[in-house]
Chains A and B, each alone.
Chain A
Amino acid sequence: GAGVSQSPSNKVTEKGKDVELRCDPISGHTALYWYRQSLGQGLEFLIYFQGNSAPDKSGLPSDRFSAERTGGSVSTLTIQRTQQEDSAVYLCASSLGLQVHQPQHFGDGTRLSIL
């Protein structure tokens, strides 16, 4: 498809386990963002990648969270030693660039539930 693709769509795991969430951006989009949507905190920025520049990790809530973007395309968000407060919908977005006239296109998200 032509949109941002995220997998899995749902993930249920036990507290303490590690999880990996995947994002396939729109082809040709150089910027990629991760956000988290939770009941308590609303929609929060986590991290973004732009081309080959160092990612902006300023929104990551703890060092248990990390993200990679390989080859300037697919990105993986990893949460280590998951906690119940990590339960949320994790949204990925991509855009042609960082300019305001280049809007972000969002995927449908991964719903993460920590038991």
Chain B
Amino acid sequence: GNSVTQMEGPVTLSEEAFLTINCTYTATGYPSLFWYVQYPGEGLQLLLKATKADDKGSNKGFEATYRKETTSFHLEKGSVQVSDSAVYFCALSDQQGAQKLVFGQGTRLTINP
């Protein structure tokens, strides 16, 4: 079945550092890929998405590129801020369009000033 594997956390960085959170997936067909974020005390929010190979999703300075050849969707940001502290989830949905999301285990990110 479909699955998502994220780098284990927690991840702690200093403000303005470069961020990478690795995500790889296993899926049949051509899934859509997502990054969701859960800020402290808040619900899950969609951060960005990509629906086909080589698509780049971007939002709030975060980027991720759908790499079919490496089955990856790594999340990057060039300069993190304290306000980026949250739990990040990589997810996929199958090509049937039902959007039954399969999530990775989540990565807790803490940014220190």
A8 within 8 Å of B (CB atoms): no
Chain A: interface size category: 20 to 34
Within 8 A of B (CB), among A76-103: 91, 93, 95, 98-103
A67 within 8 Å of B (CB atoms): no
B44 partner residues in chain A, CB cutoff 8 A: 91, 93, 106
Residue in B42, B49, B106 whose CB lies within 8 Å of A43:
B106
Q: Quick one: given A42-B106, A100-B49, are A108 and B101 in contact (CB under 8 Å)?
A: no
Chain B: interface size category: 20 to 34
A51 within 8 Å of B (CB atoms): no
Query: Could you say which of B14-22, B60-68, B70-78, B91-99 contacts chain A?
Result: B91-99
Q: Which residues of A contact B (CB under 8 A)?
A: 3-4, 31, 33, 35, 42-45, 48, 50, 56, 58-59, 91, 93, 95, 98-104, 106-109
